[in-house]
Structure 1
């Protein structure tokens, strides 16, 4: 059995999960990907910790608690659909989130805190997204334009409030595959929706 991996992420509110699940279900038959994400696994990753010792995991949580204690809740909205990988054979299909200074600031604070705790993090630029599917397996080339046209009747912007950061454990043999290990509430006044 593989060792567990951990990451910090922004979870989705239920109405966003329902919407994303509907988008996935609407897309599955015409757009074959190897794995579609379970509705309970939708999230925006802030920092991937990997396989770490219990001591390092405890240190990461202490550092994250310091970050969330000084961060107020904020609103976030979904955006366009996109891909990572080759245009005709993507490895990831995702739903984006609109640019958010509070989200970028939160991710930078989390990143800095984890580096201070001696974690080695991905150095690529932060590209916030919600993974919907992995690994194109279609017998013809994938077309993002075709997918966008197909989804046009149900595409909408979903707005939600980021109130917490979650520590997830990855359980690759299970569905859903991410288990909540801890929740860190953002401290501050609720934003106006």
Structure 2
């Protein structure tokens, strides 16, 4: 099953993002974006791809062990940007201020997955929250993104193992397992 490890967002943070986009006419400024459904918003910590039932059990154990070593920590969301860059945008994201706790959590997840030989995407970790995927050509003025300033913060209290089913209407994410810190 296609899976990933993530931080889920509270319903109030998801609603704040939705409200900001609506109130600032963000969709008007960016045509050609396939917007992420707000109930699907999350912060990906590790994309696992296709994993077996046995590997799901192993990942659950890895997350249990990691949860014992971590306490809740705050995350700050701030600003907008594009991957890979303004000139060739593929993804519209909200930024996440780098915090030592988040980086340590990511390192611990990677180490746990490596220890048990669980495949995951090893691209460098750049903390962000994807809110849209872009089909070229995107019509926008880069300076618009620079003027938008979304800010919010929340407390991360748990991590999730999620299943991703790709359907014609878009992906459907199912929580397979979650574990609270401490």
> Secondary structure of 2:146's partner?
helix
Unaligned runs of 5+ in 1: 188-193
Residue of structure 2 in register with 1:5 after alignment: 2
Residue of structure 1 in register with 2:177 after alignment: 182
> Secondary structure of 2:71's partner?
coil
**1:144 equivalenced with 2:150 (yes/no):** no
Q: 1:135 to 1:85 in 2, by over 3 A?
A: same
Deviates more, 1:168-177 or 1:42-51: 168-177
In structure 2, what is the Cα distance between the partners aligned to 1:110 and 1:139? 35
Alignment of 1:1-193 (within 5 A): 4-25=1-22, 26-138=25-137, 140=139, 142-149=140-147, 151=148, 155-173=149-167, 177-187=172-182
Q: 1:85 to 1:136 in 2, by over 3 A?
A: farther
In structure 2, what is the Cα distance between the partners aligned to 1:176 and 1:24? 21
Cα shift readout 1:142-173 (whole Å, capped 9, x = no counterpart): 43312333x3xxx3421100000011111221
> Secondary structure of 1:167's partner?
strand
Q: 1:64 to 1:81 in 2, by over 3 A?
A: same
Q: CA deviation at 1:30?
A: 2.4
Deviates more, 1:118-127 or 1:173-182: 173-182
Task: Give the root-mean-square deviation of aligned CA atoms.
Answer: 1.8
Contact 2:5/2:160 (CA < 8 Å) preserved in 1? yes
Aligned residues: 179
Q: CA deviation at 1:94?
A: 0.3
Structure with greater strand share of residues:
2
> Secondary structure of 2:123's partner?
coil
Contact 1:24/1:132 (CA < 8 Å) preserved in 2? no
Residue of structure 2 in register with 1:190 after alignment: none
Contact 1:5/1:170 (CA < 8 Å) preserved in 2? yes
> Secondary structure of 1:107's partner?
helix
